A and B are shown apart, each in its own frame.
Chain A
Amino acid sequence: MKKRWICLFVENEIGVLARITGLFSGKSYNLDSLTVGITEDNTISRMTISLTSDDRTFEQIKKQLSRSVEVIKVVDYTDTPLHMKEILFVKVNHCSDADISELFRISKVFGITVIDYDGSTVLLECTQTENKNDDLIILLKRKFVNRIEVTRGGSVAVESVSISER
């Protein structure tokens, strides 16, 4: 089992997202995250899909995706140098003064931004990789038990132009 990344170019039409997710659920393929947005050509949407699977299933998934009429192109990003980002918001509730200074310290170390604050609730914004976001959530969960609210957007990815960054 291995973590995989797929970039999918699809028709920007009603029902296409359902077709893709239906394929995953109907064939019992595991799906970790899926993001979708319109490209520079507004008739085409681009999806970034992450999943965990063995080699054989992954081959099947790629083939099944390519044979869908609505899918224009399937690109396997698994072993490609990528730039990858995931937006993450974390709300931390009922903060004491000590909590707040701790949060500011964390934000400095993790390179994240405090974007909103009302005296007791702090809203953090983090735009890093999925893995780094996972780390941050683990830390915050431990420090602020039952006081955090997580909203994450799923990864988007694009091939590197010159460097090998993951």
Chain B
Amino acid sequence: MEITGAELFVKALKEESVTTLFAYPGGQAIDLFNALYGEKEIDVILPRHEQGLVHAADGYARSTGKVGVCLVTSGPGATNLVTGIATANYDSVPLVCFTGQVPTSLIGNDAFQEVDIVGITRSISKYAVTVRKREDLAETIRKAFYIAKTGKPGVVVVDLPKDVQKAYGSDSYQKKIAVRGYKPNTSVHMGQLNKALDILSHAKKPVFLIGGGVNIAHANKEMTQLAEMTGVPVITTIMGKGAIPTTNDLYVGNIGIHGSYAANSAISKCDVLFSIGTRFNDRITGKIEEFAADAKIIHIDIDTASISRNIIVDVPIVADAKKAICALLEKVKPLHISEWTDEINRLKMEYPIDMQKSGLTPQRVIQSINELFEDAVITTDVGQNQLWTTQFLDIDENKQMLTSGGLGTMGYGFPGAIGAKLGNPHKDVIAISGDGGMQMNIQEMATAIVYELPIIICILNNGYLGNVRQWQEMFYDRRYSSTCMRYRRSCETGCNTPNHCCPEYTPDFIALAESYGAKGIRVTQPEDIKTALISAKQNTKTPTVIEFIIDREINVMPIVPPGNSLKDMILESEESTE
């Protein structure tokens, strides 16, 4: 039977088991939306901005493990996706983004709302392609889903010119696919694995360093087993957090510039660094020459290009984290390293991450979330709110944290939570954001309202772009350049000290939430934290915004100053030792 390209598009989505589509219409996508009209099997979600849309699809994909699917129009619809595409691709999130395009006859003519979105996204996606012929449509869509979710997952952009959407052609959609230039690794090299095991078995001071790859491969259960069978302490990157429950005795903490002292010390002292699914990003290594300087390094990663790029490794193993861990589980033996684990435990006890402050601190907010929510997805925005969450949030098999780790995209947290709630309607979904990032996609409050998503939005409001302000305080002589969110033109210039006379914050987040029809709670005292969170949890009808008014100059501690080795951390900020 002959059907239009748009009809085939809808058929393809169903064949790919897409049940939720994040979509914003426009002139060059109108035929696709027409084909979706009245469609019962696909829930079409209309966010309020394409950036919010793509972050929502990203949150949906991260929290469900399914492919997130976006549909937008050409030109500005497509370019508004760009930040979200880079965000998702950087963190290996499977997305397929369909963009409308002007008819093939007009491509290159500078037509209305024409952009070369394939050219724009080439370097920030896993694959990007324009479908130029109706007969290629089915195979290209199939290929897009296959590439997005296999191997190291990523973003595929499929550009659909209007004439291809309208043209009639075959209704066939074949699931079988082979891409000759794309062969994701499906095996584990046993020779290399045995080498790794041999090194591990002789280690006196081994650690596991776990990155996001373990979470992406859904190998958390296996990773926990591996840690418990060997008794080797586990350190994670921000993206790897939750690879084993954070409450497990073997969990040391996060590595990196805001990691825990115990974790960073252990990395600096270890003799075998067994790493899985991390690319040794500059945020975790500190001064690269001194990173795990005495250790033999084993590195398992699905991406060959991640191996021996930043850190030269002794045993490289290209494999999927889950497959590799399962293969390890068949062979590992317990190690006798109690001296080492005692040393790490002592460091953990002696140098906990603790704000040591009274009052309404981010630590108290996040620890209250730990206590009150058992089955939840927690998203973060980017900046101090993110770092505090990665420091204090407990994660186990029923809790998940979504964060923009690679690109560090402000504005991710709230729309990400919308996607997570759509994918996990029975879980509590909490977005932890700062006052800055919250305003970057605040328009999605309408989306949360209209789709009746009772998300809890925790805004940690310090009236600053806090992370940059912290750097300005610590490394730039308190020159608070463009970081005060309460600044008005009438303020004195060069202000670097917040005080009680600062102008009112804009917007009033509570009034704003209420204007959308959401519930708003402002918390200024530590004793009200739990009441507010409980009240938000009980509100199952609308989103709840809780604005926590926190100390304006509270810092993320400890910190490895730029250029320093992981060993050289500043543990406490001056003001918090008072």
- A residues contacting B by CB (< 8 A) are 10-11, 14-15, 18-19, 22-23, 26, 56, 59-60, 63-64, 66-72
Contact = CB atoms under 8 A, between A and B. Distances in A.
Interface string B23-60: 00000000000000000000000000000000000000
Contact of A18 (B122, B126, B147, B305): B122
Contacts of B123: 22-23, 26
Given A60-B309, A67-B305, A15 B147 contact: no
A15 B147 CA distance: 18
A33 B108 CA distance: 28
Nearest to B147: A69
Interface in B294-309: 303-305, 308-309
Interface residues on B, range: 20 to 34
Contact of B122 (A22, A56, A67): A22
Contact of B304 (A22, A26, A66): A66
Main secondary structure of the interface of B (DSSP, over half): mixed
A29 to B, nearest CB: 12
Contact of B179 (A19, A60, A64, A69): A69
Lowest 4 A-B CB distances belong to which pairs?
A63-B305, A72-B181, A69-B127, A63-B304
Contact of B305 (A10, A64, A69): A64
Given A10-B181, A11-B181, A63-B304, A69 B309 contact: no
B119 interface: yes
A68 B304 contact: no
B118 interface: yes
Contacts, number: 39
B180 interface: yes
Nearest to A60: B309
A19 B128 CA distance: 10
Contacts of A19: 122
Interface in B520-551: none
Given A15-B118, A18-B119, A67-B303, 11 more contacts: A15-B128, A22-B122, A22-B123, A56-B308, A59-B308, A60-B305, A66-B304, A68-B181, A69-B127, A69-B147, A69-B182
B130 interface: yes
Contacts of A68: 181
Nearest to A23: B123
A44 to B, nearest CB: 9
The residue among B132, B182, B305 with the most chain A CB atoms within 10 A of its own CB is: B305
A14 B127 contact: no
A69 B181 contact: yes
A66 to B, nearest CB: 7
Contacts of A59: 308
Interface in B365-414: none
A60 B305 CA distance: 6
A59 B130 CA distance: 31
Nearest to B312: A56
Contacts of A66: 304
The residue among A10, A23, A60 with the most chain B CB atoms within 10 A of its own CB is: A60
Contacts of B119: 15, 18
A69 B126 contact: yes
Interface string B122-158: 1100111110100000000000000100000000000
